[in-house]
Amino acid sequence: MCKICHLENRAHRAQLSRRGLLRFFGTVTAGVVLTGTADAKEMKAPPKPQNVVSPDAALELLMDGNERYVDGISRRHDFKHEREALVGGQNPYAGILSCADSRIAPEYAFDSGRGDLFVCRVAGNFANSDTIASMEYAVAMLSTPLIMVLGHDSCGAVSATSKSLKDNTTLPGHLPSLVKSITPAVNAVAGKPGDLLDNAIRQNVIDNVAKLKTATPILSEAVEQRKLKVVGGIYKLRNGRIDMIVW
C-alpha cells in the first residue's frame, strides 16, 4: 500500500471510531474537534472553557494544584455552583489512572474541582481493556489533552504481587487477575540494584504509560497528532508530593 493510501485509511478509521463512539454515547458534551457538518451540529460549548488547554498546560494545572495541596493551601470549592454548571456536560483537562488506595484521592492531590479530572482507579494503577476504553472516551469524546498514570510508594497491590511471585503462591478470589497485570513490572526489575518494591512501582508506571500511549487506534493517534500527552508520576504518602517520572 502506498503511503498516501495508508494515511487516508488511518484517517478514515479514526473518523469511523469517533463516529462509532458518537453513536454509542450520543451527543458530544464538550468541544470535540470533528470534521463534517453533521458532527459539528452535535458539538456544544465546553462547560469549563478554562479546561480547554494544551497537553503541556494541562500538566502545569495538575502540578500547580499538587503544589497547593502539598503546601496545605488547597482552594475552597463551590460544589453547589460547579454541580449546576456541569449538568449539561463535562470537559476534564486530565485523565488520571491511579491506584484505588484510599490515601491517594487524585481530586484532592491535584486540588481540582468537579469536571476537571476523569479518574479511573484500580489497585495497582494498570491499564486494562476497561480503563483504556474509559480513557478513549475521555480523549475522543471530551477532548481531554492529558493522561497521567499515578502510582504511589508502598503500594499494597505491587507488594502483594511481588510476594506472591517470590513465594510462588496463588492469592484467593479474583486477586490473581491483579497479580497477572502487575507481574511484568515486578519481573522486569528483578535483580536490579535498589529497593525491589520501589523499582517495581516505578516500572509499573512506566509500562502503563507506554501501554496507554500505544493503545490503537484512538489514544495512539491522538498522541501522534500531539492532541494528547501521556505522563507518569508517583505520589509520596508522607508529604503528598507527586514526582514526575515520565513526561
User: Considering beta carbons, is residue 32 or 99 the nearer one to Zn ion?
Assistant: 99
99 binds Zn ion (CB under 5 A): yes
User: Considering beta carbons, is residue 99 or 234 the nearer one to Zn ion?
Assistant: 99
CB 216 within 8 A of CB 165: no
User: Considering beta carbons, is residue 99 or 197 the nearer one to Zn ion?
Assistant: 99
We find the least distance from the C-beta atom of residue 132 to Zn ion, in angstroms, to be: 19
101, 116, 136, 221: which one binds Zn ion (CB under 5 A): 101
We find the least distance from the C-beta atom of residue 135 to Zn ion, in angstroms, to be: 19
Q: Which of 196, 191, 186 is nearest to 124 (CA)?
A: 186
We find the least distance from the C-beta atom of residue 101 to Zn ion, in angstroms, to be: 4
User: Considering beta carbons, is residue 28 or 99 the nearer one to Zn ion?
Assistant: 99
We find the least distance from the C-beta atom of residue 157 to Zn ion, in angstroms, to be: 5
What is the biggest distance separating any 2 CA atoms in the chain, rounded to whole angstroms?
A: 60
Interface stretch with Zn ion, choices 13-21, 98-106, 111-119, 185-193 (CB under 5 A): 98-106
> Could you say which DSSP state residue 74 is in?
P
Q: Which residues pair with 234 in a beta bridge?
A: 151, 243
For residue 86 the three cell numbers come to 456541569
User: Using CA atoms, how far apart are residues 44 and 89, in angstroms rounded to an integer?
Assistant: 9
155 binds Zn ion (CB under 5 A): yes
User: Considering beta carbons, is residue 101 or 111 the nearer one to Zn ion?
Assistant: 101
User: Using CA atoms, how far apart are residues 200 and 207, in angstroms rounded to an integer?
Assistant: 10
For residue 112 the three cell numbers come to 481540582
The answer, yes or no, to whether the previous bond of 217 is cis (omega within 30 of 0) is yes
CB 75 within 8 A of CB 42: no
We find the least distance from the C-beta atom of residue 112 to Zn ion, in angstroms, to be: 20
Question: By the criterion CB under 5 A, which residues form the site for Zn ion?
Answer: 99, 101, 155, 157
